[in-house]
Structure 1
Amino acid sequence: MDLKNVSRRSFIKTAAVLAGAAAVNPVNLLKFKPVGNLTIIWNSDSHAHLKPTLYREPSVNIGPHFMNGRPGHLVGNSFNLYYDINPKSAMGYFCSYVDFLKLNKEYGPMGGYAHMATVFNKIKEERYGKTIMLDTGDSWQGTGIALLTKGMAVVNVQNAMGYDAMTGHWEFTYGEKQLLSNIKKLKFPFIAQNVTNATWGGLIFKPYIIKEVNGLRVGIIGQAFPYVPLAHPSHFVKNWNFGINTSHAQKMVNKLKNEEKVDLVVVLSHNGLEVDRKFAALINGIDIIVGGHTHDILPAPQIINNTIIVQAGTHGKFVGRIDLNVQNKKIVDYDHKLIPIVTNWIKPDPEISRIIDEEYAPHARTLNEELGTSEDLLYRRATFISTVDNVVEQAFMEKYDTPLVFTPGWRWGETVLPGEKITMEHVYGEYGTTYPEVYRVKLSGQKILETTSSNLSDVFARDPYLQMGGDATRISNSKMHILINRHGAKRIKSFTIKGKPINPDKDYWLITSGAKMQKLSDTVDGGLQKEKAYDVIADYIRGHKTIRSIQTGDVIYRHSRTAG
């Protein structure tokens, strides 16, 4: 059967489920008419949020012009219109920034592993003996509890929940030794076909697994984030090579189909949506890609080269479900649903709640410390400017008396409401990395232009395989006019620092953490390397008590009516 036709039928059914304020409510949250003989359930990019949290979707999520207007680059009302979502519904709240504060009062917090577990268990019970449960990675990093336990708090919860496989990205930033130690404690496989030994070329992890479910042989190929040594300090994985490895992936697909005689080929991917689109277009024989990395919400699947692509947002906001009717090694029908984890509507699983409480108990005093209060809505996700990063810049500028601050465009980071107490857990939730060192470095204007141009290329490259999947680096006290669809240095039309055009021949002092810019400088203030970003930010909040987000950087660009 032509999957394009099946996809259209599925889209209509999905839209019918989503449309209207009454479409998703406590009564019919899990309502779903089962299809076929196999169900795949998953979560994407939880970033270790074991407990419920908040995550506001971006108001700006812009890309190259030909990518705007399609899933992956839709925001706000454009997103809601595309998927026929009532903006006042729970789905509208989870999928869009529009009226976020107003809708928060009605629907409350999001996610939480104990609440996800309730949904997973309900589906497993309903589809007994027919389910596969997956995790797309970015699960062991992004909160204080993850950092303080080196990811093991999440591992223990995952083991209790009964996943079948995962792949990774930020997991690698614990370093090779710690990662392999954590994996040994997993009760399910960590899979990746695209990570090899840097000396000998052999695979580091199982490239795939085969699950026998309800009489079907299902091959699941792991695809870890392909750019780990480029996006993070390379010493974490100094003995390993990464890449997209399209040709090897095709060999794995062929092996599963021709030698292992599987009925279905699934890729568990941390490529990101745009990369998955190209990946699917270049590789024949993939039935489904269960994706992550770019935090995209796909209420209806994408179909590329007869491959179904699904993704379920981030921070535990959704559980994804796809039911399949597989006959004679073909998908003849399917249906799909993203289930918003509306915390107030779902009773948490008591066993998972107990484990989470046990993991938090030794660290509760540290994580629950109230540092101050936010006057503004603090959020991370946006292509250029975010209120969280404004506060980070303020903290660094005050601490080091340096007006120029570069902060990375990470897409993870929880949301804090106006009037809400800011805790140490919130700070870790924005900067809880294994490389938190703060650097004061001197760079020439030319090097600043070159590294900024390189970062913009990572975000706006027309070839998806050249995109890193993050947002642009934030730069305090600067103003850039960029031409998104140009190439290289031509992308930056103008760049000013404190109102003056940047001088390529002048040296500038700047503060950076997480952006790797210290590697570009011959002059590094070594004394700052011992200070950790999350401690500097926490001290700033403690000192001021009431926190406002003050924007000092700006980016001029050609706006998109659909992507911001």
Structure 2
Amino acid sequence: MTNNIKYFLPFYGMLALIIVSCNTNKKTVLQNNAMKNKAKTIAILHTNDMHGSYMPFETTLDNATAQTGDSIDNLMRFDRKAFIGGFDYMAAAIKSIRTEKGNDRVILLDGGDTFSDDQLGNLTKGEAMISMMNQVGYDLLALGNHDFDYGLERTDELQKLANFPMRAANIIDEKTGAPVFGEPYIIIEKQGISIAILSLGYRNTPLTGNSKNIEGLKFETGIDAIKKYLPIISKKAAIIVLLSHEGMAVDKVIAEEIDGVDLIVGAHSHDVISPPIKINDTYIVQALSDGAILGETEIQVSNNKIIALNANYHYLWHDKMSPDPEMKNMISELRKPYKSQLEEKIIKTNTVIGRQYKSESPFDKMVTSFMVDKFKADAAFLPGVGYGISLKGEITSEDIYKLLPHPAKIVTLEMTGEQIRRTLEQTATNLNPIDKLKTVGGLIQSSGIQYHLDLNKPIGQRIDAIKIQNEDLNPTKLYKVVTHTGMINGIHNYDEFGKSTNIVKTDTVLTEFVMKNLKEMEELSYPKRMGEVVIKDK
């Protein structure tokens, strides 16, 4: 017995070793599987529609920024009066998150409409903002409609100056038949996870600016571009992100119609989408405009799928944080050669004069009233645009350029009453199009004309009670109208201006005209003709 025991000891010892070894290997496999299954967190930082806004602004309670303070789809207003934004504060927020999370967990994107619509932007033709963005290290920019404001050639120069690609899958170079400036997507690996980011431009760009700026380009819908590229990028990456300048309404359509997109980082409509929208398996986020907010969309990924998403919106309130000293110094140096122009005092106001997008805009009412009075016209019209912030206190040259950045010239012409009625019907269509892909522009801005607009009525019956100079509109009468060159070129689908008679194109640039009129006043007060337009949308 004893001998038998001695004989089997080596055998049992070997068996024990084998059992221990098997258990150890099994434990290691389980640990490896657990590590694979453990969710990894990646922060996608995003900005959009900065419109050259590298300087801070003071918020008001009744107006957020131009496009969201009276939004029909997603109303947003600030809940306090304080200074917000500025690229030195943006840089500080970006650095803080990168320091906290590590570079391998952070991606930085911009949704477009970025470097124009500002006086320093005009003076440097967009280079100032590109320099700031290079400093903080963006990964990708989706080309918005206003990113061609200085012409295609200049946009090309800027994308070569940028340390990051500027792309759009649905903006096609007619010479090459390929997306402008190159491959419209990037593949980024973070935490061992491959992420494809496909950029989309604005399909209706030809209807939003000077057509000469985009000669040689063709604009397609983002939906068609996604259908083309999704099979390609799905083979290269686990997570699919769209960086879209199509606007919230169209982003919703994309999420409804296309499977396989994990996240849409939006732009163009200037929305704060909080909480994120989820349609089918697609999340949608967006971070306001004018550099007021840094969006942070945290995704948790396990087994190559997003299992959770959290959207943080970092409001860049000045009393809550400090600016980045390096960026503050850069901004000072960029402004130095142009400081006297930028800070030229124009006038002061003791009230708030904001810009609205889908209702009567106080600032645009002031401008169109100047036009009616100085040109002795019956009515004046300007397009409803969604950039710009409120005027208050001491107003400088760069404040006016934030609202009127483009070199459009004043035009006088004659329109029949029926042409004016059709123009107002078009603005009703712009506010509430049947086809969301045809969404373009806000309410036409006017002075000297009164009317009611009811979005609940059938097409063709939405406008009534039209009066010009307090008299009922006469369909056959010719009225003297003053507008600008963009309108006679059909911006926002306003075709009737180009069909009018006695068109006289002046050499007067609208921005210079407005500043001259403001300088002649002692103090700017709230526009007197507000209330000419009554809108019913519910």
TM-score (norm 2): 0.86
| 2:317 is aligned with 1:350 | no
1:298-337 superposed matches below 5 A = 298-337=273-312
1:48-447 superposed matches below 5 A = 48-54=52-58, 56-57=63-64, 61=70, 63=72, 72-75=73-76, 92-93=78-79, 103-104=80-81, 108-128=82-102, 129-167=104-142, 168-198=144-174, 201-205=177-181, 206-258=183-235, 260=236, 262-417=237-392, 420-433=393-406, 435-447=407-419
For residues 54 and 187 of structure 1, what CA distance do their matches in structure 2 show?
A: 31
Aligned partner of 2:444 in structure 1 is 473
Deviations, residues 12-40 of structure 1 (Å, cap 9, x unaligned)? xxxxxxxxxxxxxxxxxxxxxxx832110
CA drift of 1:62 comes to 5.3
CA drift of 1:113 comes to 0.5
**AA matched with 1:347:** S
CA contact (8 A) 2:452 2:463 kept: yes
For residues 62 and 352 of structure 1, what CA distance do their matches in structure 2 show?
A: 33
Deviations, residues 59-118 of structure 1 (Å, cap 9, x unaligned)? 96354xxxxxxxx33356xxxxxxxxxxxxxxx52xxxxxxxxx32xxx21100110110
Deviations, residues 399-444 of structure 1 (Å, cap 9, x unaligned)? 3222411122111112122xx11111111011012x4211112222
| 2:516 is aligned with 1:524 | no
More off after superposition, 228-237 vs 513-522: 513-522
**AA matched with 1:506:** K
User: Which of 461, 470, 486 is equivalent to 2:433?
Assistant: 461
Q: Which runs of 5 or more structure 1 residues have no equivalent in the other structure?
A: 1-34, 64-71, 77-91, 94-102
Deviations, residues 213-254 of structure 1 (Å, cap 9, x unaligned)? 221111111111111111222221121111214133122122
Give RMSD over aligned pairs.
1.9
CA contact (8 A) 1:233 1:516 kept: no
Deviations, residues 472-509 of structure 1 (Å, cap 9, x unaligned)? 01111111112213454222133221222222222221
CA drift of 1:328 comes to 2.1
For residues 171 and 251 of structure 1, what CA distance do their matches in structure 2 show?
A: 24
| 2:536 is aligned with 1:558 | yes
SS state at 1:37 partner? strand
CA drift of 1:198 comes to 3.6
1:17-32 superposed matches below 5 A = none
**AA matched with 1:74:** L
For residues 546 and 376 of structure 1, what CA distance do their matches in structure 2 show?
A: 10
For residues 271 and 544 of structure 1, what CA distance do their matches in structure 2 show?
A: 41
For residues 148 and 489 of structure 1, what CA distance do their matches in structure 2 show?
A: 44
For residues 101 and 485 of structure 2, what CA distance do their matches in structure 1 show?
A: 44
**AA matched with 1:36:** K
CA contact (8 A) 2:455 2:537 kept: no
RCO greater where, 1 or 2, for CA within 8 Å and sep 6 or more? 1
CA contact (8 A) 2:40 2:191 kept: no
CA contact (8 A) 2:297 2:311 kept: yes
For residues 177 and 479 of structure 2, what CA distance do their matches in structure 1 show?
A: 42
Task: Name the count of aligned residue pairs.
Answer: 483
Q: Rg: which structure is higher?
A: 2
For residues 521 and 446 of structure 1, what CA distance do their matches in structure 2 show?
A: 11
SS state at 1:512 partner? strand
More off after superposition, 545-554 vs 219-228: 545-554
CA contact (8 A) 1:399 1:536 kept: no
For residues 207 and 521 of structure 1, what CA distance do their matches in structure 2 show?
A: 41
Relative to structure 1, the CA distance from residue 413 to residue 466 in structure 2 (aligned partners, 3 Å threshold; closer, same or farther) is same
Deviations, residues 522-561 of structure 1 (Å, cap 9, x unaligned)? 42213x1x2111111111110003011224252223254x
User: Which of 49, 74, 82 is equivalent to 1:45?
Assistant: 49
CA contact (8 A) 1:153 1:359 kept: yes
For residues 75 and 317 of structure 1, what CA distance do their matches in structure 2 show?
A: 13
For residues 248 and 427 of structure 1, what CA distance do their matches in structure 2 show?
A: 37
Identify, as 1 or 2, the structure richer in strand: 2
CA drift of 1:455 comes to 2.7
**AA matched with 2:499:** L
For residues 145 and 317 of structure 1, what CA distance do their matches in structure 2 show?
A: 18
For residues 164 and 62 of structure 1, what CA distance do their matches in structure 2 show?
A: 30
**What's the % identity of the aligned pairs?**
25
For residues 345 and 455 of structure 1, what CA distance do their matches in structure 2 show?
A: 41
More off after superposition, 533-542 vs 238-247: 238-247
Relative to structure 1, the CA distance from residue 200 to residue 450 in structure 2 (aligned partners, 3 Å threshold; closer, same or farther) is farther
For residues 224 and 275 of structure 1, what CA distance do their matches in structure 2 show?
A: 12
Relative to structure 1, the CA distance from residue 238 to residue 522 in structure 2 (aligned partners, 3 Å threshold; closer, same or farther) is farther
CA drift of 1:200 comes to 5.6
For residues 71 and 110 of structure 2, what CA distance do their matches in structure 1 show?
A: 27
TM-score (norm 1): 0.82
CA drift of 1:515 comes to 4.7
For residues 551 and 489 of structure 1, what CA distance do their matches in structure 2 show?
A: 30
SS state at 1:490 partner? coil
SS state at 1:519 partner? coil
**AA matched with 2:70:** N
CA drift of 1:194 comes to 0.4
CA drift of 1:340 comes to 0.5
For residues 197 and 366 of structure 2, what CA distance do their matches in structure 1 show?
A: 42
SS state at 1:333 partner? strand
